[in-house]
Amino acid sequence: MVGSGPLGDAVPVVEPELVDVVVVGLGVGGEEVAGRLAEAGLSVVGVERDLVGGECPYWGCIPSKMMIRAANALAEARRVDGLAGTAQVQPDWAPVAKRIREEATDTWDDTVAVRRLTDRGARFVRGSGRLDGPGRVRVGDQVFQARHGIVLGTGTRPSVPPIEGLADTPYWTNHQAIEVEQLPESLLVLGGGAIGLELSQVFARFGVRVTVVEALDRVLAIEEPEASEVAATALRADGVEIHTGVRAERIEHDGSRFTLHGGGGADFTADRLLVVTGRRAHLDELGLDTVGVDAAQRYLPVDDRLHVSDGIWAVGDVTGEGAFTHISMYQAGIVIADVLANARQANAGPDASGTASVVGGAMGAASSLGASGSSGSAGSVPRADYRALPRVTFTDPEVGAVGLTEQQARQRGINVQVGFTKLGSSTRGWIHRVGDEGFIKLIADADQGVLIGATSVGPAGGEVLSALVVAVHAAVPLSQLRHMIYAYPTFHRAIEDALRNLS
């Protein structure tokens, strides 16, 4: 028997299989939700069309940080001169490519990840999942009816701008940049955001001639202007050419080289072109119309418990709350707790049976999950709170930031105080000498007497950030921060100087 699909195509009508939960998209967030709910005793179907684990382990955080680790080792060796004698460095990409292939990605094979998921008790289905009416998910010929909910963790894909000629060229996205075995001689990078800068610095340190073209007037435009300046200076010192305020108008590929024609007659050529101009969710593929949700949106709007609509939750990049693995994992904790709470409630009738006892037993575990909300009372489901969202750009120096920038705070009409200090003027920065570029910038709400944002740039900028995240998250009074003891001579001791400079 066949029915009619959303595009008028023939869709086989099959009897849905009843399960507790269906998770569509098994990136970091989806895999965590599917695994934890299965461990809690629910019958869970996890659907993934590509690789279980998603972007982060195969084409994102992990392999890019392996590249950065290697590139930073080269940079440190080059800093021996003047500090500890002389050193000669011979960069070789082969061990980096091998490590990514063998240690990070199993040559882009998810056998181990699938086993990790099924060992936790979830059932795995390979394919594209799509909503097929309330509570239902279709994967090819299979249809699942979810008793307790559907979780969408379908992530994003690279957003490629509609620049004339670009679509017909063999441009790279982060996928080809991560999979590269032989480095090109020259590389054009379209986009000066976090991913563009991280990869540019890596490739430059391995000898590639890198040119970054950014349409906005500065790189890392979402961070503090001082951070953009330090990052741009550091990359230029590594030989990266940076052109800001240049809008790419046309791209050509002559069979071997790319030419990017920018506004005002600026032309750039290179062997390869890497497009890193943001990410986009593809909501039109999810069958949202079958459950009354508008698919013509940039992201899936969610409430503070990650509800999209009745019985549907979303997790990760698809929610648009921050494209970070830690956001996806944080949201996963909330979704797990909420699904379990709902399942327990649904099963709590006088003749409760089936999953009720298992789910009830799992609630202790759910309430101790990583997601810490502001509601706080025992057994309650935490609510998402992004005030202290940390973000780190792993350039050298690292750019760590949390909460609001100065501009964002002023736009909200907050009575802002700013504290700033350069790392080089701290004892540790002075000792460190070469490679000590950086600063601490604090944004305080003068009326509340608390920090609402901070930026930490430096050799360990992402690690120093943790103290500032605690301060913003817990709204620690400035008076308390001023009377803390900061270990001498650490980089984080510069926070004390920045606090002293708040005005």
Ligand X SMILES: Cc1cc2nc3c(=O)[nH]c(=O)nc-3n(C[C@H](O)[C@H](O)[C@H](O)COP(=O)(O)OP(=O)(O)OC[C@H]3O[C@@H](n4cnc5c(N)ncnc54)[C@H](O)[C@@H]3O)c2cc1C
Minimum distance, C-beta of residue 502 to ligand X, in the bound complex (Å): 29
| CA distance linking residue 131 with residue 116, whole number of Å | 26
Q: What is the helix, strand, coil percentage profile of the chain, to 5? A: 35, 25, 40
SS3 assignment for 394-407 = CCCCEEEEEECCHH
Check if the beta carbon of residue 499 is closer than 8 Å to that of residue 437: no
**Nearest to ligand X of 133, 361 (CB atom):** 133
- What are the beta bridge partners of residue 443? 418, 453
- What are the beta bridge partners of residue 139? 129, 142
Minimum distance, C-beta of residue 161 to ligand X, in the bound complex (Å): 16
**Nearest to ligand X of 333, 429 (CB atom):** 333
Check if the beta carbon of residue 43 is closer than 8 Å to that of residue 131: no
Instruction: Specify the residue for token string 């009372």.
Output: 377
- Asked if residue 346 belongs to a known ligand binding site, the reply is no
> Residue 492: how many CB atoms within 10 A of its CB?
20
**By the criterion CB under 6 A, which residues form the site for ligand X?**
24-25, 27-30, 47-51, 54-56, 59-61, 64, 128-129, 153-156, 174, 195, 285, 316-318, 323-326, 328, 394
- Asked if residue 198 belongs to a known ligand binding site, the reply is yes
Which tokens belong to 458? 């430096």
Minimum distance, C-beta of residue 100 to ligand X, in the bound complex (Å): 12
- Asked if residue 62 belongs to a known ligand binding site, the reply is no
Check residue 54 and report its DSSP letter: -
With vertex at residue 338, the alpha carbon angle to CA 335 and CA 340, rounded to the nearest 5 degrees, is 105
**Nearest to ligand X of 41, 63 (CB atom):** 63
Minimum distance, C-beta of residue 300 to ligand X, in the bound complex (Å): 11
**Nearest to ligand X of 211, 328 (CB atom):** 328
Minimum distance, C-beta of residue 316 to ligand X, in the bound complex (Å): 2
- Asked if residue 191 belongs to a known ligand binding site, the reply is yes
**Nearest to ligand X of 325, 355 (CB atom):** 325
Minimum distance, C-beta of residue 130 to ligand X, in the bound complex (Å): 6
**Nearest to ligand X of 59, 313 (CB atom):** 59
**Nearest to ligand X of 172, 491 (CB atom):** 172
- What are the beta bridge partners of residue 262? 248
199: amino acid identity, one letter: L
- Residues 6 or more apart whose CB falls under 8 angstroms from that of 5 comprise 11
**Nearest to ligand X of 30, 419 (CB atom):** 30
Minimum distance, C-beta of residue 201 to ligand X, in the bound complex (Å): 13
- Asked if residue 194 belongs to a known ligand binding site, the reply is yes
- Asked if residue 278 belongs to a known ligand binding site, the reply is yes
Long-range contacts: 287-290, Cβ < 8 Å, 24+?
287/6, 287/130, 287/131, 287/132, 287/138, 288/131, 289/6, 290/6, 290/131, 290/132, 290/133, 290/134, 290/136
- Asked if residue 214 belongs to a known ligand binding site, the reply is yes
Minimum distance, C-beta of residue 205 to ligand X, in the bound complex (Å): 16
Which tokens belong to 210? 């890198």
Binding-site residue ranges: 65, 129, 191-198, 214, 278, 317
Binding residue ranges for NAD(+) = 191-198, 214, 278
**Which residues are documented as binding site for FAD?**
65, 129, 317
